[in-house]
Structure formats: C-alpha cells, structure tokens
A and B are shown apart, each in its own frame.
Chain A
Amino acid sequence: MSSIKEIQDEIVAEFEILGDDKESTIFYIMELGNSLESFPEGEKKEDNIIKGCQSKVWLIADEVDGKVHYQADSNTDITKGLISLLIRVLNDRSPEEILDAELNFIEKIGMGSIIGSQRSNGLASMIKQMKLYAFAFQTKQNA
C-alpha cells in the first residue's frame, strides 16, 4: 500500500494535468465522487452529519484490524468528490498515521481558489471529523 505522502503526490500530479482550467477541474472533482463506496441509507442521520459544512456530508468510521475504515456521502456532487479525495488518502490506516498526516495536497492543488471559501471551510471540517474518529479509536486501542 502506498504511503500517505505517495498518494498525495499522485493526486497533485492528476490535478496538474488539468492545469488552470477551473471548469474541467470541477467536473473532475464531481466525477471522483462516483468512486465512493455506497453509503448505508440508515446511517444518513443527523448524528453523522459533519458540522460546519454548508451542504450535507455524512461520515462514519469503523475500526477493522486496527485500521480506520471510513464511509461518506453527500447531497452535492462536488462535496462527494472532495471527501472521496480525503478517504483515498486516509482510508484503512492506523489511527497514528491518520493523526500524524499532513494533508498538504490541498494547498498544492490550490483547492481554495477552485472551491471557494465556503467549501474550503467545509473541507477543513471534514478533515477535523476524520481525525476525531482516528483519535477516538486510538484512545480505545490504548485503553
């Protein structure tokens, strides 16, 4: 399995191909959302909504063999694409790896200017929630 850094480099390279064309970049982000594994309908409840996002984003996590497995969905395609990128980087890793991860691909891509400030705040909330899950599992493992 590639490291968190390697996957981030891959993503940066993919976005570099798109260049400065904002339209193609947004279409690409929306397409990425299709790669998310299907989200259990029953989990689309208030408790699983990430706070701080304008659109609805549901996130759940399980611990499988000491690794954190995430599932997510959203009512908007761009947001689905964004969280799919985060899951691609952080999924099925140990809580320590997730907590230590520096997600510099977001800045390298220039995501802020692609998605605007509202959605950038949402993206930060998604990362925070993913790390919170990792922290909870780490605490449980160390208990």
Chain B
Amino acid sequence: MSLNIEQIRGLFPVLHQEVHGKPLIYFDNAATTQKPQAVLDALAGYYSHDNSNIHRGAHALADRATRYYEETREAVRAFIGAKEAEEIIFTKGTTEGINLVAQTFGRKFIGKGDEIIISTLEHHSNIVPWQMLCEEKEAVLRIIPINEAGEIIFEEFEKLLSPKTKLVSIVHASNALGTINPVKEVIDAAHAVGAKVLLDGAQSTSHLEIDVQELDCDFLAFSAHKIYGPTGLGVLYGKREVLEAMPPFLGGGEMIKEVTFEKTTYNDIPFKFEAGTPNIADVIAFKASLDFVNALGKPAIKAHEDALLAHADELTREIKGFIPVGTAKDKVAVLSFNINGMHPFDVGQMLDAKGIAVRTGHHCTQPLMKRFGIEGTVRASFSVYNTKSEIEKLAMGIAQIARFKNK
C-alpha cells in the first residue's frame, strides 16, 4: 500500500514553516523525528485532564494516569513483539538503557578476563559504558571490523567469539552510515558460545519490523523521540529471566517491596528498574506515536523511505566531488557523504541557507570516522513525511555547493 504523504505531512505542524526565507526541508530525522499532532495533543491532554502521580494513588486521577501509563507499556510490548509487558522498562533513552545494562548485568555477570564484543559502527553510547565497565572489572573489549562499504565482517566476528565472550552489544542500524546489521545471525552466533546480546535499536525501531522473540535478543534499547515520540524517554526490553537475575539500577521510591533500616527488598520487574516518579506525560504521549506508526505500517514506511534513498542515490551519484560514505547493501534511509575539498560543517551551513536541515560532524561515532580516515560527514536522513521533491532540492543543493570546489 502506498502512503498519502501530503496527508501525513498535514499531521506535523512543525514542517509547515520557512527558515531563512525558504520552506523547511527537514532531513535530520536520524537525530530526532518530528512529532504528529496526536502526540502533542496527548501531552497537553495529560497535563490538562489527568496529571497525577501514578501507582498507589487512591483517587480517580491517579487511577487514570496509571492506566494510560501502563497502556503504553502494553503498546510497546506489542510494538516489539515481547512476551510480557513486565519486560518493558521505561528509561530516559537508548543511552540510559545501555548504561543500565552495563551497570547492573555487567557489574554482576562480567568479571576479570571476560570479553564484551561491539562493532566499529557503534555510537559512543554503545562504546563508553563498556569501556567504563571493562576498566572497573578488568574485562576486555573486542571490536568487530567493517569493510569499505561499512558492513561488519561476519567471519571476523565469529573469530572473536569464545567462551570468554559474555556479551555482544551491537547496533541494529548505524546512525552515521545507515548500515543494517545482520542481527539475527549475530544473535545466534553469540548464543552458541553462551553470550548475551544487547541490540541498540535507536535507529532501527522506527523503520524495521522488530520481533524480539523471533530475534531472540536478550536486550533491546531504543528512544521514543526517534519514533515520532517525545524526547527524554526510552525503552529497555530485557528477557524476564535476565532482568530478574539483575540487581537494581537506581535506588529510591517505586523500586522497593519493603524498606527497613536494616534491609530493603526489591520490587518485581519492571518497577525494580523504574525508581522515582517516571516521565509520565511522555510515556502516555508515546502511545500516540506508536499508534501513528502502526496505522501506517512499518513495511509501507520502509518502502517509502527506501524509495527516497534510492532517488537520492541516483541523483547524487554523478555529482562531481560527491563522496558517499557508507554504501552497504542493506541500509535505512541515511545518505552520509562528503564533498571533495570542503568541510562538512560548511556544507551543512550552506544547505541550511537553502532551508535544508542536515547534521554534520562525527555523529558520535569517532572510531568509525577514523576507520574511514575522515573527520566527519554530512548526513541527510529521511523519514515518512519527506517527499521526492525535497530529495530533488537536496540533490540540486549539493550539486551547486560541490561546484564551489569541483569545477
């Protein structure tokens, strides 16, 4: 089914504005997506009608807020195909989810000489927490190399696996290049040596159909704001038995069963990992984002975004001085590139002058940039509300800017 993009655009108030006298073309979707009106309404609606602290409240508002909050948990469960809603933990975002696993699972189950495997494609948020843990535990961090196209070299990954491997933490889709990793194969190979697997789903959950039971990953971390939802909210999925074996993350209210000054017993999952008053409004509004995605259907969204990327590839390929970075066969809709002789920041600022919003720099993937021998790239990332005509304006803009140094 093909989508009515004009109708979809109508749901996003932010898209209808001019910047620097030009109509806004928003191609910074891998950083954060825009929010449909339904999400904005849900946020305002919660504060206007239902604002209350959840769980344990003995009044109607608390009851309502609790119900809506838990409805989102159920919606997330369905969205990623988890077995039980209790396996869904609300966090601040992907970064917090990964840190939670490092600080609880990692501290309990990873020790001296154990190994953690990540890939060259990782965002700093899937590098630094493991470096911190390895330093503390005298564990070893191993890195899966990539080829020139920006794809992991699977045979090299297999060579890294051993009984010492305790965890493989890998990005599902690269934020900097768009590469989609063969995560099912990664998970199966890791499980064969008894390692657990964390998937960084920050860039994949809004584009790809995900079924955590079918994938059999042990953890999946992602952010709401990249799926048309509010900022400052994320999800950590974990298998029940793994989450139950883990110690709590933050101590405080909500996460306890009983507190005495001598000893505290902890609450059951997911509450064990949700200390303090959570981000209630954003959790409730996030359901509207998931409803939006479900109504369109991920296959239709992906098909539209793939068509945009193919169009962009075709139009930019012949531009003199255009250097694509990351040419994996399997990609989400990310066009990462440089222009010969020009700094990415300059290119970004020139595109901004044309009303085109892109991201420039190392995209929090410095080791990946180093692998390609570059400081950074210009990244245009596409979403369901982008149009072919916007892609054409981008390509024309790139061609005009490239001529500055590539006559």
Residues of A with Cβ closer than 8 Å to B? 20, 22-23, 25-27, 30, 54-55, 75-78, 115-116, 119
Q: How far is the CA of A54 from the CA of B360 in the complex (A)?
A: 12
Residues of A within 8 A of B350 (CB): 23, 26-27
Name which residue of chain B comes closest to A23, CB basis: B353
Name which residue of chain A comes closest to B21, CB basis: A20
Residues of B within 8 A of A119 (CB): 349
Whether B343 is near chain A, meaning CB under 8 Å from some CB there, is yes
Known: A30-B404, A115-B349. A23 touches B343 (CB 8 A): no
* A–B complex contacts, Cβ < 8 Å, 6 sampled: A20-B21, A22-B353, A26-B350, A54-B345, A55-B343, A76-B345
Distance in angstroms from A124 CB to nearest chain B CB is 17
Contacts A30-B346, A78-B345, A115-B349 aside, 13 further interface pairs with beta carbons under 8 A come to A22-B20, A22-B353, A23-B350, A23-B354, A26-B349, A27-B404, A75-B343, A77-B342, A77-B343, A77-B404, A78-B349, A116-B352, A119-B349
Name which residue of chain A comes closest to B405, CB basis: A77
Residues of A within 8 A of B343 (CB): 55, 75-78
Report the number of A-B residue pairs with Cβ-Cβ less than 8 Å: 35
Task: State the 10 A-B residue pairs at the shortest beta-carbon distance, nearest first.
Answer: A76-B343, A22-B353, A23-B353, A22-B20, A78-B346, A76-B346, A77-B346, A26-B353, A26-B350, A76-B345
Q: How far is the CA of A130 from the CA of B201 in the complex (A)?
A: 47
Distance in angstroms from A28 CB to nearest chain B CB is 11
> Which B343-398 residues have a C-beta within 8 angstroms of A?
343, 345-346, 349-350, 352-354
A-contact bits for B334-345, CB 8 A (1 contact / 0 none):
000000001101
Number of residues from B at the complex interface, CB < 8 A: 12
Q: How far is the CA of A75 from the CA of B376 in the complex (A)?
A: 13
Name which residue of chain B comes closest to A74, CB basis: B343
Residues of A within 8 A of B342 (CB): 77
The contact of B345 among A20, A25, A55, by CB within 8 Å, is A55
Distance in angstroms from A59 CB to nearest chain B CB is 18
Q: How far is the CA of A20 from the CA of B235 in the complex (A)?
A: 44
Distance in angstroms from B346 CB to nearest chain A CB is 5
Distance in angstroms from A74 CB to nearest chain B CB is 8
Q: How far is the CA of A77 from the CA of B349 in the complex (A)?
A: 11
Distance in angstroms from B321 CB to nearest chain A CB is 14
Name which residue of chain B comes closest to A31, CB basis: B404
Q: Which of B343, B349, B352 has the most CB of A within 10 A?
A: B349
Distance in angstroms from A116 CB to nearest chain B CB is 7
Residues of B within 8 A of A77 (CB): 342-343, 346, 404
Q: How far is the CA of A25 from the CA of B346 in the complex (A)?
A: 13
Q: How far is the CA of A116 from the CA of B349 in the complex (A)?
A: 9
Q: How far is the CA of A55 from the CA of B343 in the complex (A)?
A: 9
Residues of B within 8 A of A75 (CB): 343
Q: How far is the CA of A98 from the CA of B353 in the complex (A)?
A: 33
Q: How far is the CA of A26 from the CA of B397 in the complex (A)?
A: 14
Residues of A within 8 A of B354 (CB): 23
Residues of B within 8 A of A55 (CB): 343, 345
Distance in angstroms from B402 CB to nearest chain A CB is 13
Residues of B within 8 A of A20 (CB): 21
Name which residue of chain B comes closest to A76, CB basis: B343
Residues of A within 8 A of B21 (CB): 20, 22
Distance in angstroms from B118 CB to nearest chain A CB is 27
Name which residue of chain A comes closest to B375, CB basis: A75
Name which residue of chain B comes closest to A54, CB basis: B345
Residues of B within 8 A of A25 (CB): 353
Name which residue of chain B comes closest to A118, CB basis: B345
Name which residue of chain A comes closest to B344, CB basis: A76
Distance in angstroms from B28 CB to nearest chain A CB is 14
Q: How far is the CA of A115 from the CA of B353 in the complex (A)?
A: 10
Distance in angstroms from A141 CB to nearest chain B CB is 37
Residues of B within 8 A of A78 (CB): 343, 345-346, 349
Name which residue of chain A comes closest to B343, CB basis: A76
Q: How far is the CA of A26 from the CA of B20 in the complex (A)?
A: 12
Q: How far is the CA of A89 from the CA of B20 in the complex (A)?
A: 28
Q: Which of A23, A30, A78, A116 has the most CB of B within 10 A?
A: A23
Q: How far is the CA of A125 from the CA of B354 in the complex (A)?
A: 27
Q: How far is the CA of A122 from the CA of B353 in the complex (A)?
A: 19
Q: How far is the CA of A54 from the CA of B353 in the complex (A)?
A: 19
Q: How far is the CA of A38 from the CA of B193 in the complex (A)?
A: 59
> Which B191-238 residues have a C-beta within 8 angstroms of A?
none
Residues of B within 8 A of A30 (CB): 346, 404
Q: How far is the CA of A22 from the CA of B397 in the complex (A)?
A: 14
Q: How far is the CA of A27 from the CA of B400 in the complex (A)?
A: 11
